[in-house]
Chain A
């Protein structure tokens, strides 16, 4: 009985591998860019172990922030190459999963989905990035919490307001956490300020917004 199961399993594996012409080294790549990186680039390598050439019919990325390039349109038997997937990080944060769909003229497995998983390091996590008071509200302070990412060490932060209408006060808490108290001078006028938050010894700048808004629209 055992022999039958092993033979069946092996025959399935062999038949599948014989049908697949373009062999991918890996269809998923995980990237860990540094905070200074603007792009994350994945190289998806392939080989054609078959006896006939394979042609790429289309290569397209799942989103506008990712581009994919082939080195050639035709892969002759025995040849190898790669598809380069470039993910533009922009101001994205956290874990980003983007895919590239590759279509070939292979009889089997004509469509392959390549996955690029990018883990963007986050030096500071700011919550909320927006504080507001309605016109006429009491000008009580509101708190913004700043948490330092696990892989980073930040002992001090600098906070400045683009407008003198808002005052800020930084309090250093334990476990790499800071509290920023933001307080408007008054709430009569519709004013706004960009708060610039910068870790010491770092070029990276983070932002938050403080604003006096008009009252809600009554429906």
Chain B
């Protein structure tokens, strides 16, 4: 009786594991532990402000939101027009400068995508994502 119960439990657990594994494979690029930003790549508004003239602010939001308002001196670099905007950013960048990328809300991943592409494709170092994004900047403005 007891062994039968254990067998049933194991069968149900194994059945539950199949869709779980399927989802893990299908959503492998969205698994939380892979998509979270390491603390070393995050920066707060206060920290970024201490870098003063040695920082380039990058606005990863869509054009309309950038046009409405942005961090003073920030450059627009979004993935809608990446090929067009990247050369404008690179024209301003220089070795040793820190780059802080922000987007508009906590759920938005535009800033982390832009930061990832700057690190991986342009192979730049010292690229950070602003913790709390545009909203955090507004609070401390």
Residues of A within 8 A of B (CB): 1-2, 5, 9, 28, 62-65, 88, 90-92, 95, 97, 126-130, 132, 134, 192, 194, 206-207, 209, 211, 213-219
Contact = CB atoms under 8 A, between A and B. Distances in A.
Contacts of A64: 61-62, 65, 104, 108, 110
10 contacts: A1-B8, A64-B62, A90-B80, A91-B79, A92-B113, A97-B27, A134-B95, A207-B87, A213-B95, A217-B97
A126 B117 CA distance: 11
Interface residues of B, number: 40
A128 B123 contact: yes
Interface in B91-141: 91, 93-97, 104, 107-110, 113, 120-124
Main SS of chain A's interface residues?
mixed
Interface in B52-111: 54, 61-62, 65, 78-84, 86-87, 90-91, 93-97, 104, 107-110
B79 to A, nearest CB: 5
Contact of A129 (B5, B80, B121): B121
B83 A207 contact: yes
B118 to A, nearest CB: 9
Contacts of A209: 86-87, 90
Contacts of B122: 128-130
B108 A62 contact: yes
Contacts of A134: 95
Contacts of A127: 120-121, 123
Given A90-B80, A213-B93, 18 more contacts: A62-B107, A63-B109, A63-B110, A65-B62, A88-B80, A90-B79, A91-B84, A92-B82, A126-B121, A128-B123, A129-B121, A192-B87, A211-B91, A216-B94, A217-B94, A217-B97, A218-B96, A219-B54
B47 interface: no
Given A128-B122, A130-B124, A91 B83 contact: yes
A28 B22 CA distance: 13
B71 to A, nearest CB: 18
A1 B86 contact: no
Contacts of A1: 1, 4-5, 8
B49 interface: no
Contacts of A130: 90, 121-124
A28 B23 CA distance: 11
A91 B95 contact: no
A216 B123 contact: no
B12 interface: yes
Contacts of A213: 93-95
A116 B56 CA distance: 33
Contacts of A206: 83
B32 interface: no
B29 interface: yes
Contact of B8 (A5, A88, A128): A5
